[in-house]
Amino acid sequence: MPYASAMFSWDDLGDTRPAVMGVVNVTPDSFSDGGRWLDPDAAVAHGLALVAAGADLLDVGGESTRPGAAPVGVAEERRRVETVIARLVAVAGVPVSVDTTKAAVARAALDAGARVVNDVSAGRFDPDMLGLVADRGAGFVAMHMLGDPRTMQDDPRYGDVVAEVGDFLLERADAARAAGVAPGAIAVDPGIGFGKTTAHNLALLARLDQLVARVGVPVVVGTSRKRFIGRVLAGVAGETGEPRADQRDDGTLATTVWAAECGARVARVHDVRGATQALALIALLPTVAAA
Ligand code: HH2
């Protein structure tokens, strides 16, 4: 069975520069590219194009998590991701992760050869999730979200967003370890845009170095094309209003470089080529400085 192969460790992705996780949304309604890769052939071709552009791993999702997105049943979510994952595992040459909150979907994806479960609920929505990840020796991304995708943007409030997200991530990493997930397989993610205002997202980025130091496990950051970038860039550089999702890759790149400088280990992005080039370039500078 594919999952019987060696245990996943985030260290396997290397540490000279942050890893680039390329997004493959097999959905009709994702906020930035919904419907473009719903056809399995298109999704596989897109995944391969992302690998050619430098992706170190591919994140395949079959359910949009954008605010107000329609929930998807297990059968439909499996139908969307299972074949795409099996085909990418066969040919992509990089680890594949599945973006799901459902253990049944994660199980099917791991059976198809996925190595990582990226769970935006951090194992809270499905009681079987952490045990499954542990049994299979899979990698795990535990992301912070306030509430659930239906309600998360309804007036989110925090006392100190960085402290509270940090508390949550430490608690979920502990829960994963307690369930038997290998320490080296656990990563956490502040969940940019998931139950956060623009100010909350900016605070999490501004103090990301503190969060990275505090959690003590690899940190994944996903700013790609998110709304706060549009909000901040409205009116900047000749934009008449907020740039649309597909016009936010330059802003995304700035935040990706910032996250890398703050110690993030994985950048989850749609524009893989830009992220790979920028991260390769800035990774070089410390070695030049030391020479
Ligand atoms: N963001 C999205 C989905 N999954 N997973 C992690 N770990 N971190 C993130 O920031 C994150 C995530 C939302 O982006 P996208 O997949 O492009 O959109 P949608 O959920 O609408 O499919």
**pLDDT at residue 43 tops 90:** yes
Question: Reduced to 3 states, what is the DSSP secondary structure of residue 219?
Answer: strand
At residue 172, the pLDDT reads 98
Summarised one tens digit per residue, pLDDT across range 203-217 is 999 999 999 999 999
Distance from the CA of 291 to the center of ligand 1, in angstroms? 39
User: Is residue 226 among the annotated active site residues?
Assistant: yes
pLDDT bucket at 2, cuts 50 / 70 / 90 = very low
Could you tell me which of 277, 224, 266 has the C-alpha nearest to residue 95?
266
Binning pLDDT at 50, 70 and 90, where does residue 3 land?
Answer: very low
Answer with the residue of higher pLDDT: 56 or 3: 56
pLDDT of residue 147: 83
In the structure, what pLDDT confidence band is assigned to residue 189 with cuts at 50, 70 and 90?
Answer: very high
Q: Rounded to whole angstroms, how far apart are CA atoms 168 and 150?
A: 20
Q: Which of 29, 33, 50, 66 to mutate to test ligand 1, by most ligand atoms within 8 A of the CB atom?
A: 66
Region of 238 (left: φ > 0; alpha: ψ -120 to 50; beta: rest) is left
Residue type, 21: M
Active-site option among 226, 227, 248, 265 = 226
Q: Is 92 exposed, middle or buried (0-12, 13-18, 19+ CB in 10 A)?
A: buried
- Ligand 1 pocket: which residues have CB below 6 Å? 23, 25, 27, 30-32, 61, 64-66, 99, 118, 120, 141, 143, 189, 191-192, 220, 222, 268
Backbone region of residue 113 per phi and psi (left: phi > 0; alpha: psi in -120 to 50; beta: other values): left
Ligand 1 centroid – CA 222 distance (Å) = 7
Q: What is the pLDDT of residue 5?
A: 56
Give me the long-range contacts of 254-260 (CB less than 8 A, separation at least 24).
255/205, 255/221, 255/223, 255/229, 256/221, 256/223, 256/224, 257/282, 258/205, 258/208, 259/18, 259/205, 259/208, 259/221, 259/223, 260/17, 260/18
Closest CA to 41 of 75, 93, 87: 87
Catalytic residue among 107, 172, 196, 268: 268
Query: What is the distance in A from the centroid of ligand 1 to the CA of 21?
Result: 11
Residues 260, 278: Cα–Cα separation, whole Å = 10
If one counts every other C-beta atom within 10 angstroms of the C-beta of residue 156, the result is: 16
| pLDDT confidence tier of residue 4, bands split at 50, 70 and 90 | very low
How much distance in Å is there from the Cα of 11 to the middle of ligand 1? 23
Tell me whether residue 31 is exposed, middle or buried, using C-beta atoms within 10 angstroms of its C-beta: 0 to 12, 13 to 18, 19 or more: middle
What is the reported pLDDT for 137?
98
- Cα atoms found within 13 Å of the Cα of residue 205, Cβ hemisphere only: 23
Distance (Å) from CA 192 to ligand 1 centroid? 9
Percent of the chain at pLDDT above 90? 84
Q: State whether residue 30 is helix, strand or coil.
A: coil
User: 72, 129, 143: which to mutate for ligand 1, most atoms within 8 A of CB?
Assistant: 143
Instruction: Categorize the per-residue pLDDT at 14 as very low, low, confident or very high, splitting at 50, 70 and 90.
Output: confident
pLDDT in tens, 98-156: 999 999 999 999 999 999 999 999 999 999 999 999 999 999 999 999 988 888 888 89
Higher pLDDT: 104 or 69? It is 104
Write down the pLDDT at residue 153: 86
Give the span between the Cα atoms of 97 and 118, in whole angstroms. Answer: 6
| Separation of alpha carbons 37 and 27, rounded Å | 7
Query: Tokens 């290998």 identify what position?
Result: 182
d(CA 118, CA 139): 8
Mean pLDDT of the chain: 94
Determine the pLDDT at residue 287.
Answer: 86
